[in-house]
């Protein structure tokens, strides 16, 4: 028996309407904010993801890297920002000197330990806004993330926000942080022992160490902001306040990837079931476009996990998708010729139709037809074939009528229209 790859899942027909619902909501809000969709490849050259300055645990330990048959080293994208910036630079989309606003929906791959809300193939909806370092754009992007969640009807969420300052602030902060945690090396978890050498900022959002008493007095990046960075952060918060965005400053929030600076944020569920699960997060980045060969352009973006959004929607019973009723079931009880052309005529007139593909006992065929839950069953047998008619059973009134075959479309259209009306 073949099984799906660990950490992946199938979206089956009863689940796909939920995905379609979510995708439609995303497209609606992105249209209102005037963000355009981009679709980049799932495969990128290894170097696009594994950049010299990228030291995050995720990129270092969780990517699917492999060589193709021509010995090219490739990576399945673990997130989409890097690929989008690669496309932005490769296609010189910055040439118009204007702000570019993109959104994306699609799968990513990370070799993680699968658990609730965590998969090896998962999908993200995200946005990127490039070519402006205005604090207003930071506030607008946070507002977009917040308003999107609200528009889905998901409550009990908060924006957790922080500033990690510019690169200069971070050099100083990093030094102090390493000094602080070095005195607790023995108490750090194994991952954080490594992070102390490679990516000390990440220790701050370690789920294990953050619960320990030694963590209490750890320095926060907020205390290392210079005046300019601090002022910038205050203005972002002021905008959010005025726009009624429910936020809280989380002084330990740093986020996983190395390319962030200034504003970083997460949208966190505070509901009992999802206890503090991050539905999405993002931040500003200043070095990424340059790192990928482009000009000195900054950007800001966020990404939501689609699976987690669906989890939050399902937990709050917010989607109740009722499959549409089938208009017609065409039940053919004999070897009726030109069946496809009849089905085609119905469908050309926007009538949804199912049919039987084999002929058996009438009772069995009729039960199968009823199971499809149609509004009408059209019966075409020997008599109907001889007389050029079709028998129409109306399942709501339980009445039956014999209709001339040439009139059947007109008849059904009128019937279906009255019903809908
Ligand atoms: P990140 O790209 O790590 O900042 O994650 C952004 C969002 O993507 C998270 O808040 C999650 O909602 C989602 N996410 C990240 N990794 C996974 C995963 N392995 N499985 C499911 N969702 C994920």
Mean pLDDT of 235-246: 97
Number of domains in the chain: 2
Is 7 a member of any domain? no
Same-domain status, 278 and 406: no
Atom of ligand 1 nearest to the CA of 112: 19
Same structural domain, 75 and 133? yes
CB of 261 closer than 6 A to ligand 1? no
Give, using CA atoms, the residue closest to atom 18 of ligand 1: 118
Task: Please tell me whether residue 304 adopts helix, strand or coil conformation.
Answer: strand
Give the integer Cα–Cα distance in Å for 113 and 62.
10
Q: Which of 273, 292, 315 is the last residue of a domain?
A: 315
Nearest residue (by CA) to ligand 1, atom 10, is 280
Single residue among 260, 287, 315 that ends a domain in this structure? 315
> What pLDDT is recorded for position 90?
98
pLDDT-wise least confident of 144-148, 199-203, 371-375, 394-398:
199-203
In a domain, 57, yes or no: yes
The pLDDT value given to residue 40? 98
- pLDDT attached to residue 195: 86
CA 363 / ligand 1 centre spacing (Å): 51
Single residue among 315, 349, 369 that ends a domain in this structure: 315
| Residue partners of 375: CB distance under 8 A and separation at least 6 | 325, 326, 327, 328, 394, 395, 396, 416, 419
95/156 same-domain check? yes
Q: What is the mean pLDDT of residues 209-228?
A: 90
Shared domain for 359 and 309, answered yes or no, is no
Given this model, what pLDDT does residue 349 score?
Answer: 96
Q: Report whether residue 251 contacts ligand 1, using a CB cutoff of 6 Å.
A: no
Q: Are 339 and 272 in a shared domain?
A: no
Q: Which domain holds residue 143?
A: 16-166+226-315
Q: How far is the CA of 118 from the centre of ligand 1 (A)?
A: 7
Q: Are residues 125 and 237 in the same domain?
A: yes
Transcribe 356-371 into DSSP letters: -SS---HHHHHHHHHH
**Same domain (yes/no): 110, 253:** yes
Residue 29 lies in a domain: yes
**How far apart are the C-alpha atoms of 137 and 132, rounded to whole Å?**
7
Q: Quick check: CB of 375 below 6 Å from ligand 1?
A: no
Q: How long is the chain?
A: 421
The domain that contains 416 carries what CATH number?
A: 3.40.50.800
Q: Do 230 and 268 lie in a common domain?
A: yes
Q: Is the CB of 118 under 6 A from ligand 1?
A: yes
Q: What is the pLDDT of residue 421?
A: 41
| CATH assignment at residue 31 | 3.30.930.10
* 302/336 same-domain check: no
Domain assignment of residue 107, yes or no:
yes
User: Does 112 contact ligand 1 (Cβ within 6 A)?
Assistant: yes
Q: What is the DSSP letter of 417?
A: H
The crossing angle, in degrees rounded to 10, of helices 16-32 and 135-151 is: 140
254 and 390 both lie in a single domain: no
pLDDT in tens, 309-342: 999 998 877 787 887 889 999 999 987 777 898 9
Q: E strand or H helix at 416, and its extent?
A: helix 408-420
Atom of ligand 1 nearest to the CA of 266: 10
161, 102: one domain: yes
Cα 308 to averaged position of ligand 1 atoms, centre (Å): 8
- Give domain status of residue 181, yes or no: no
Assess if residue 4 is contained within a domain: no
For ligand 1, atom 8: residue with the closest CA: 305
Q: Within this chain, do residues 98 and 41 fall inside the same structural domain, yes or no?
A: yes
With bands split at pLDDT 50, 70 and 90, how would you rate the model's confidence at 276?
A: confident
Rounded CA separation 244/236 (Å): 13
The residue to mutate among 26, 60, 119, 122, having the most atoms of ligand 1 within 8 angstroms of its beta carbon, is: 122
What number does the ligand 1 atom closest to the CA of 119 have? 20
């Amino acid at each position: 028996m073949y099984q799906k790859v660990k950490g992946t899942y199938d979206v089956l027909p009863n689940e796909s309407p939920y995905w379609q619902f979510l995708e439609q909501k995303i497209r609606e809000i992105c249209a209102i904010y005037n963000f355009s969709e981009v679709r980049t490849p799932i495969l990128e050259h290894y170097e696009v993801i594994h950049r010299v300055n990228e030291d995050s645990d995720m990129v270092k330990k969780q990517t699917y890297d492999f060589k193709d048959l021509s010995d090219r080293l490739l990576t399945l994208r673990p997130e989409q920002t890097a690929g989008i910036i690669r496309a932005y630079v490769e296609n010189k989309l910055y040439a118009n000197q204007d702000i570019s606003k993109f959104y994306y929906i699609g799968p990513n791959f990370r070799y993680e330990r699968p658990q609730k809300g965590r998969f090896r193939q998962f999908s993200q909806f995200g946005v990127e806004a490039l070519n402006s370092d205005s604090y207003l754009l930071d506030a607008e992007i946070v507002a977009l993330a917040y308003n999107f969640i609200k528009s889905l009807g998901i409550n009990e969420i908060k924006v957790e926000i922080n500033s990690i300052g510019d690169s200069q602030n971070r050099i100083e902060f990093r030094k102090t942080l390493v000094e602080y945690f070095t005195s607790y090396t023995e108490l750090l978890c194994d991952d954080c022992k490594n992070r102390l050498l490679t990516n000390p900022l990440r220790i701050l959002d370690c789920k294990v160490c953050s619960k320990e008493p030694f963590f209490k007095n750890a320095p926060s990046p907020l205390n290392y902001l210079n005046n300019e960075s601090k002022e910038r952060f205050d203005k972002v918060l002021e905008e959010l306040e005025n726009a009624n965005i429910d936020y809280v400053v989380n002084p330990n929030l740093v986020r996983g990837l190395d390319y962030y600076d200034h504003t970083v944020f997460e949208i966190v569920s505070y509901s009992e079931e999802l206890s503090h699960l991050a539905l999405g997060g993002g931040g500003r980045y200043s070095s990424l476009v340059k790192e990928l060969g482009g000009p000195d352009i900054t950007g800001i973006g966020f990404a939501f996990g689609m699976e987690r959004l669906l989890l939050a929607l399902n937990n709050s019973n917010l989607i109740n998708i009722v499959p549409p009723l089938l208009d017609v079931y065409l039940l053919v009880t004999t070897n009726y010729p030109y069946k496809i052309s009849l089905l085609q005529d119905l469908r050309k007139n926007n009538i949804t139709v199912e049919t039987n593909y084999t002929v058996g006992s009438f009772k069995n065929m009729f039960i199968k037809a009823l199971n499809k839950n149609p509004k009408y069953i059209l019966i075409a047998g020997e008599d109907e074939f001889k007389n050029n008619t079709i028998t129409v059973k109306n399942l709501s009134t339980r009445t039956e009528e014999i209709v001339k075959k040439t009139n059947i479309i007109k008849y059904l259209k009128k019937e279906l229209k009255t019903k809908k009306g």
